[in-house]
Amino acid sequence: MKYNGAVVTSNGSSFLSGLVANKKSAVLDKIIILNTDVPSNKTIDSMTAQDFSNGMSFDINNVSQNDNSFTATSVVSNTGNANNYPAMLVGLFGYYDGSSERTLLSVSKAVDPFIIEKDTGTPVKLSVSITVGFSSSQQVNLTVKDNVYLAKKDLDGAMLTLGYAKQSDIFRLEGDIATAKTSTDSTVNQINANLNNVNNTANDAYTLASKAKTTADQAQSTAYSGLRFMGDIQSDYLYLVQTPGIYNLAGKIYKDWTNDHLFGNFVVIDAGGAVTQQFIYNNQNQCWVQTCNSWGNSGFKSIY
């Protein structure tokens, strides 16, 4: 895949100039992708937000800047995509903090476009970054919306700054915890024994289900004692909730679940190696688990 450098639109140029002249702050909030070329009656710099009204829209989740440019990053997903979608034009959008009027800041045109694949049940995610040169960038304040999710590396940095320990740090303290709570040591040993039994009896479906249920019950107990309560889930997709913690399902309908309302708890555990495990414990004493990593998620499997 290959793209020409980002071309700042006429409206984008005025927008960026206004940041410096009026000392305003900007929120970069969307990357919108079109599967069509520049309209025949326009040039790239004359395009506006209206030209992107029918595109695929994705939240910007990170913005960085230096003395002469800024870079906005978004995660593009094929979830719900009915057909292969060639990314011919990629538009960067933002608005003044406190305003509701979104402006098309720049457009990147494909030389060799990437394809957002058709959703066939296997999620595909791509990280897309757009860099825009701006000689006065040190004088402006660029940010993202406060309700977008963070990448794991950004979250780890934020937790360290705020004085929180990461899950991996908590695991390293397990030996000290065991000396104060003998029951913790007993629980960990029992979980390891159950996992070994599961591996040795994988061909016995009944035994596998029984051991998995026991393991899930004990994992829930361990997770509840070591993770923070994070409140209601804010996302409409469960697989996007990858910050370790205990969440309230709050009776919502989630787009990567069935059409049923979910009541109960959602437990997210950092399994190490950029792998996250997610457990659903509903109010009917049922449990499901799925594994998420950089390639996507496994889909929820029933444990009991």
pLDDT (average), residues 96-106: 89
pLDDT (average), residues 90-99: 91
287 in Cβ contact with 262 (< 8 Å): no
Return d(Cα 67, Cα 71) in angstroms, integer: 12
Return d(Cα 67, Cα 154) in angstroms, integer: 21
Looking at residue 205, its pLDDT comes to 58
1-5, 95-99, 173-177, 277-281: the lowest-pLDDT one: 173-177
Contact partners, residue 245, CB within 8 Å, separation at least 6? 227, 228, 229, 230, 267, 268
Looking at residue 237, its pLDDT comes to 92
Question: Per-residue confidence at 288, pLDDT binned at 50, 70, 90?
Answer: very high
Looking at residue 164, its pLDDT comes to 53
Q: Which residues make beta-bridge pairs with 90?
A: 33, 108
Looking at residue 135, its pLDDT comes to 65
Evaluate if residue 7 carries a pLDDT over 60.
Answer: yes
Neighbours of 188 (CB within 10 A): 15
pTM for this structure?
A: 0.48
Residue 30 or residue 182, greater confidence: 30
Question: Per-residue confidence at 67, pLDDT binned at 50, 70, 90?
Answer: confident
Contact partners, residue 22, CB within 8 Å, separation at least 6? none
pLDDT (average), residues 148-165: 53
pLDDT (average), residues 110-130: 89
Identity at 278, one-letter amino acid code: Q
255 in Cβ contact with 239 (< 8 Å): no
9-23, 153-167, 238-252: the lowest-pLDDT one: 153-167
pLDDT (average), residues 71-96: 92
Handedness of CA 226, 265, 304, 242 (dihedral sign): negative
Evaluate if residue 77 carries a pLDDT over 80.
Answer: yes
Q: Considering only CA atoms, which of 292, 162, 300, 284 is closest in space to residue 240?
A: 292
Looking at residue 66, its pLDDT comes to 79
